[in-house]
């Protein structure tokens, strides 16, 4: 509260002792008797006003900080092509090696970066981007199937197709023909045969196994931990997963 009596007593005290305070002229003029009496009182009142919370206008640096708090600050652009700044989460180290290689070799350029999200969440869009990049890699390196383990291809393809997706089913048939597995035996033990339009249908004789066929199976199993892409649950056993990881590693080793 403003105490009028207190300020009146203070002013009287200043008037009785005019030489106690130094004389300061606001207009830089020679000191006069009037200024020597009035300036200390004015300064005192200004000091008291400042104590009551009357402050100077905000400085430019304060306004800059305020703008930042209001969300107007422009942050430096994060380079998504720098794999050291990207977090790729997956239970298989071989899968993470593949994603890093695809990033470094530019397979995500033009189709989007599936790892650029702030929360690192994986949805349908991100899964499709990964599929496109992996299949393009496999097509560019069609020769890799010559270096892949036939035994592990037999384990993966012989266990049945991971889903009834038409392209995956056709890849499975070509791979089984490639390693000499009877199509009828594979289909008869597959739990998806009742929903499969091409059950028991053999691959054409002029069709051989391709690297992209192996990649489709690798994608189905590799995306399953984050996207549940395998409908044929009996295929999700230790032996099949180990063979998929071996094939994935062999792709990376030959490419390196």
**Cα–Cα distance measured from residue 134 to residue 163, given in angstroms and rounded to the nearest whole number:** 18
Q: What is the pLDDT of residue 88?
A: 76
Domain that holds residue 176: 91-256
**Cα–Cα distance measured from residue 139 to residue 122, given in angstroms and rounded to the nearest whole number:** 25
Report the domain count for the chain: 2
Q: What is the pLDDT of residue 90?
A: 86
Q: What is the pLDDT of residue 206?
A: 83
CA proximity to 83, closest of 102, 103, 98, 97: 103
Do 33 and 137 share a domain, yes or no? no
Do 116 and 39 share a domain, yes or no? no
Tell me the mean pLDDT per 10 residues along the chain, length 256: 54 52 41 46 50 39 30 32 61 93 94 74 86 97 95 96 96 96 94 95 90 98 90 95 97 75
Task: Look at residue 146 and tell me if it is in a domain.
Answer: yes
Do 190 and 118 share a domain, yes or no? yes
Q: What is the pLDDT of residue 118?
A: 55
Task: Look at residue 215 and tell me if it is in a domain.
Answer: yes
Do 43 and 95 share a domain, yes or no? no
Q: Are 187 and 193 a contacting pair, CB within 8 Å?
A: yes
Q: What is the pLDDT of residue 209?
A: 94
pTM of the model: 0.65
Do 129 and 238 share a domain, yes or no? yes
* 129 contacts: CB under 8 Å, gap ≥ 6: 108, 111, 112, 113, 114
């Amino acid at each position: 509260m403003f105490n009028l009596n207190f300020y009146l007593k203070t002013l009287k005290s200043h008037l009785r002792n005019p030489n106690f305070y130094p004389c300061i002229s606001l207009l830089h003029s020679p000191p006069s008797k009037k200024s020597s009496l009035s300036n200390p009182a004015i300064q005192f009142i200004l000091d008291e006003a400042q104590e009551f919370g009357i402050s100077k206008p905000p400085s430019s640096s304060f306004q800059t900080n305020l703008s930042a708090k209001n969300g107007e600050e422009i942050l430096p652009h994060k380079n998504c092509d720098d794999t050291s700044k990207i977090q790729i989460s997956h239970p298989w180290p071989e899968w993470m090696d593949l994603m890093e290689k695809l990033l470094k070799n530019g397979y995500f350029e033009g189709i989007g970066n599936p790892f650029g999200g702030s929360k690192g969440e994986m949805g349908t869009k991100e899964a499709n981007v990964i599929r496109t990049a992996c299949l393009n890699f496999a097509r560019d390196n069609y020769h890799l199937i010559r270096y892949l383990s036939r035994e592990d291809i037999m384990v993966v393809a012989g266990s049945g197709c991971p889903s009834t997706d038409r392209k995956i089913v056709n890849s499975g048939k070509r791979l089984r023909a490639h390693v000499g597995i009877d199509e009828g035996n594979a289909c008869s033990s597959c739990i998806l045969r009742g929903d499969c339009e091409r059950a028991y249908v053999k691959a054409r004789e002029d069709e051989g196994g391709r690297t992209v066929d192996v990649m489709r199976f690798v994608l189905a199993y590799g995306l399953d931990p984050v996207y549940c892409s395998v409908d044929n649950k009996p295929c999700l056993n230790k032996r099949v997963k180990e063979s998929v990881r071996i094939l994935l590693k062999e792709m990376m080793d030959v490419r390196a």
